[in-house]
Amino acid sequence: MVASSVLGFPRIGANREVKKAVEAYWAGKLSADELTKAAADVKKTSWTSIKAQGVDLVPSGDFSLYDHVLDHSAAFNVIPKRYLGHNLSPLDVYFAMGRGRQADGVDVPASEMKKWFDSNYHFVVPEFAEDTDFKLVFNKAVEEFNEAKAAGVVTRPVVLGPISFLYLGKAAKGASPNFKPISLLPKLLPIYKQLLADLKSAGAEWVQIDEPVLVLDAALNYQSQFASTYAELAPVSPKIMLTSYYGRLDSNLSFVAKLPVAGLHIDLDRAPGQLDEVIAAIKPTNIVLSLGVVSGRNIWKTDISAAIKLGQKAVDALGADRVVIATSSSLLHTPVTLAAENKLTAEQKDWFSFALEKAKEVAVIAAVLSGSQDSKVAEALEANKTSIAKRREFERSSDDAVRKRVAAITPDMWVRKSPFAVRREIQQKSLNLPKFATTTIGSFPQTKEIRTARAKLTKGEITEAQYEDFIKKEIESVVRFQEKIGLDLLVHGEPERNDMVQYFGERLNGFVFTQNGWVQSYGSRYVRPPIVVSDVSRPGPITTQWSSYAQSVTDRPMKGMLTGPVTILNWSFPRADVSREVQCQQLSLALRDEVIDLEKAGIKAVQVDEPALREGLPLRKADWEEYLRWSVSSFKLATAGVTDALQTHSHFCYSDFDDIFPSIQALDADVISIEASKSDLKLLNTFKQYGYSNQIGPGVYDIHSPRVPSEQEIKDRIAAMLETLPDNLVVINPDCGLKTRGWKETEASLANLVNAARWARQTY
Ligand code: GLN
Ligand code: ZN
């Protein structure tokens, strides 16, 4: 028999019950017991509904009130001292680590968050030091296994593996300079042994141990640790299904195939090409092979016939009892169920599978491979064939005009007419900005009034015209504010945007939107990524009316504001039938037209934000070059269609681009702004080293906190910057948009910023 399995499930609940309960708990409107109860209901529904789809191996322990990495830290007593001694309950310590706590005399910031591999999910980074005192404070895996059992579902518990857990962590502040978290492995293993032995006594037959680090180049450095760890764990543990996901095992396969585990899971959604070599490597062993054929990362219906072919190959080589059909990764990155969507057309709905529908897909594939004669399985298979055929038909009905335009792209289209030095002089004449010009990153506070007006428009309580009036007033007041404070290059403030990606997606052909397609970004924060379903084009100007209006009410230059092609793509669900490169090119062409239109409308500077450029980097270094090639050229394609007089800006919410610097340079934006307030100014050396010659605005203060930077602080920062950067290249700006800030601190901070810039003009 070929078994079916799901590696993990969304935690939010079909009606966002968990998000609501967690936030109500934070607001003091729900007790801890009520929160536990709300979570228990959602868990129970997940387990029983996954099982009801026919899945054999249902996950437990993957649920989380905030983040699964944080769950492991809390359960293993990996709690930084700053969260202790405040008389908080364990639950409140847990949330304090996740989101900080500022109440009743306690004031601790949140732990650092990082992107979970190449996804948009963020995990809370564990902090380790030599004296980390691991303890199994509670055994979440056993508790949830028992909880599921009581609900009538025998599960396969999920645990994050010890090597990935240590790898994802960082050295705590007090740790010695040479300390490496992985050195704690011998101290951590007893905890895992206890956890796994308890699971075994509780009756778990299998345990899923996630080691996603196995798809990274770095895992090769840990091969001896993998060998010793799993040799120690296997004898006391339930049967171990060791899972890799989000990529290929590659050369790591050489040691992975020798590990004493009962099963190995591979991601065939991201890396279908690895099947043959994995089969060959494990054939002589008894290892059960779990095939991740149903994508945990996208929302497209699985081509079941194609998945069956892959599955059959494994069955032929290993026998049915050694094959499991699975989701490629946890379904954490997909919404709960399509059932809740009633605005998508029937045709569109038929293209997608969300988590629950994917659970059914793994069950059907496994049933077919097991030779099931069940008429329901045959029906599901037929229905899938029909859906896939219809989708293929839709894909063939491409937008010829768009395809032709993409085919006609030539490299000269992504190069500006003249080099930067020439452009700079021309732009200087048209913009007439002072030395150390001041500007902002685009958004101004998104106040409650703005959100209310938008909600009213959606509900039809105000007319389109009334909304437009409202937005115009907002823009005008933001312009007046910037004039009053004394900023040089103004922005319109982005009041009309719900989200920097969704706003553009909604105004382009080729996207659809869900009502309930929530995907966890971090903690209780969920996003609804737009879905690219067909060729992308721009029906008409998107931002020109607002930018022109903003320009019309001031004599100072107004900067247009767009989200870049790479960021729009990376923060959407891409199509699966066309390469990301082509989708990005289509977006670039649409944005190129927008930039040209802005210039025609009299706008003299346009910023194209690419905060997602870096996070889109592939997990394997060998794949970087290819990604950077098309992403950089996409940005250039979007921004190079204008005359030399247009000043292009770009913004990045990060500054860790030491390793991709030549690509940042290759963008050839006239001005870039980067986050620099949090990091030390070391990165500016990289700019110097490479002889970066375009203008640059390293953020002079951190906008992620309400704290107002003093004028002196900003002056010090500018002075420090100027030790490395030539004074004629420096622009003065905060490190990101101000949409999450309040007006009070925005006003005070920007006033200090402008004064500091004035001081710099006199001093340098
Ligand atoms: N222009 C956007 C803003 O100011 C940029 C946001 C971002 O970089 N994430 O909000
Ligand atoms: Zn930013």
The mean predicted confidence, pLDDT, of the chain is: 96
Q: Which atom of ligand 1 is nearest to the CA of 561?
A: 1
Burial 457-485 (b: 16+ CB within 10 A, else e): beeeebeeeebbebbbebbbebbebbeeb
CA distances from 744 to 97, 420, 491, 741 (A): 28, 38, 18, 9
Ligand 1 binding pocket includes 262 (Cβ within 6 Å): no
Ligand 1 binding pocket includes 734 (Cβ within 6 Å): no
Ligand 1 binding pocket includes 611 (Cβ within 6 Å): yes
Taking the CA of 612 as reference, the closest ligand is 1
Ligand 1 pocket test: pick from 122, 443, 446 the residue with the most ligand atoms within 8 Å of its Cβ: 443
- Can you give the pLDDT at residue 103? 85
Report the separation in Å between the CA atom of 661 and the middle of ligand 2, taken as the mean of its atom positions: 18
**What pLDDT digit, counting tens, does each position of 547-597 carry?**
999 999 999 999 999 999 999 999 999 999 999 999 999 999 999 999 999
Tokens encoding 707: 């704290």
Report the separation in Å between the CA atom of 495 and the middle of ligand 1, taken as the mean of its atom positions: 12
Q: Which atom of ligand 1 is nearest to the CA of 652?
A: 8
- Tell me the mean pLDDT in the region 6-20: 97
Q: Which atom of ligand 1 is nearest to the CA of 739?
A: 10
Residue 654 pLDDT class (50, 70, 90 cuts): confident
**What pLDDT digit, counting tens, does each position of 534-551 carry?**
999 999 999 999 999 999
Burial 615-631 (b: 16+ CB within 10 A, else e): bbbebeeeeeeebbebb
- What ipTM was predicted for this assembly? 0.99
Ligand 1 binding pocket includes 653 (Cβ within 6 Å): yes
Ligand 1 binding pocket includes 737 (Cβ within 6 Å): yes
- Tell me the mean pLDDT in the region 170-175: 93
Taking the CA of 697 as reference, the closest ligand is 2
The Cα 439–Cα 740 span in angstroms is: 18
Question: Residue 351 above 70 pLDDT?
Answer: yes
Residue located nearest, by CA, to atom 3 of ligand 1: 737
Tokens encoding 639: 């921004």
206 strand-pairing partners: 239
Residues contacting residue 447 through CB under 8 Å, at least 6 positions apart: 743
Per the listing, tokens 């506070």 go with 445
- Can you give the pLDDT at residue 759? 98
Per the listing, tokens 């499930």 go with 9
764 C-beta neighbours (distance < 10 Å), count: 13
The rounded percent of the chain whose pLDDT value lies above 70 is 99
The rounded percent of the chain whose pLDDT value lies above 90 is 94
- Tell me the mean pLDDT in the region 367-380: 97
**What pLDDT digit, counting tens, does each position of 294-321 carry?**
999 999 999 999 999 999 999 999 999 9
Ligand 1 pocket test: pick from 450, 478, 500 the residue with the most ligand atoms within 8 Å of its Cβ: 500
**What pLDDT digit, counting tens, does each position of 596-611 carry?**
999 999 999 999 999 9
**What pLDDT digit, counting tens, does each position of 509-521 carry?**
999 999 999 999 9
Q: Which atom of ligand 1 is nearest to the CA of 607?
A: 1
The Cα 694–Cα 760 span in angstroms is: 19
Q: Give the single-character DSSP code of 546.
A: H
Ligand 1 binding pocket includes 443 (Cβ within 6 Å): yes
Question: Residue 692 above 60 pLDDT?
Answer: yes
Q: Which atom of ligand 1 is nearest to the CA of 443?
A: 4
- Can you give the pLDDT at residue 114? 92
Report the separation in Å between the CA atom of 611 and the middle of ligand 1, taken as the mean of its atom positions: 8
Residue located nearest, by CA, to atom 5 of ligand 1: 737
Residue 541 CA, chain-centre distance (Å), reads: 28
- Can you give the pLDDT at residue 707? 87
Question: Residue 682 above 90 pLDDT?
Answer: no
Ligand 1 binding pocket includes 293 (Cβ within 6 Å): no
Question: Residue 5 above 60 pLDDT?
Answer: yes
Residues contacting residue 50 through CB under 8 Å, at least 6 positions apart: 6, 9, 58, 59, 153, 356, 359
Question: Residue 679 above 70 pLDDT?
Answer: no
Extended beta strands in 79-210, E state = 101-103, 106-108, 113-115, 122-124, 127-128, 155-160, 170-171, 206-210
**Catalytic residue selected from 68, 86, 492, 704:** 704
- Can you give the pLDDT at residue 677? 60
Report the separation in Å between the CA atom of 477 and the middle of ligand 1, taken as the mean of its atom positions: 19
For the entire predicted model, the pTM comes to 0.95
Apex 609 CA angle, 605 and 614, nearest 5? 140
Check if 492 is active-site: no
Question: Residue 64 above 80 pLDDT?
Answer: yes
- Can you give the pLDDT at residue 76? 98
Ligand 1 binding pocket includes 675 (Cβ within 6 Å): no
- Tell me the mean pLDDT in the region 388-409: 95
Tokens encoding 641: 């269609």
Q: Which atom of ligand 1 is nearest to the CA of 651?
A: 8
Question: Residue 706 above 90 pLDDT?
Answer: no
Ligand 1 binding pocket includes 560 (Cβ within 6 Å): no
Question: Residue 678 above 60 pLDDT?
Answer: no
| Measured distance between the N- and C-terminal CA atoms of the chain, rounded to whole angstroms | 76
Report the separation in Å between the CA atom of 742 and the middle of ligand 2, taken as the mean of its atom positions: 17
Tokens encoding 51: 């099982």
560 close to 543: Cβ distance less than 8 angstroms: yes
Question: Residue 250 above 80 pLDDT?
Answer: yes
Ligand 1 pocket test: pick from 489, 503, 736 the residue with the most ligand atoms within 8 Å of its Cβ: 736
Per the listing, tokens 């100027």 go with 722
Residue located nearest, by CA, to atom 1 of ligand 1: 442
Q: Which of 100-109, 569-578, 677-686 has the highest mean pLDDT?
A: 569-578
Residues contacting residue 443 through CB under 8 Å, at least 6 positions apart: 491, 493, 494, 497, 737, 738, 739
Q: Which of 25-29, 378-382, 431-435, 650-654 has the lowest mean pLDDT?
A: 650-654
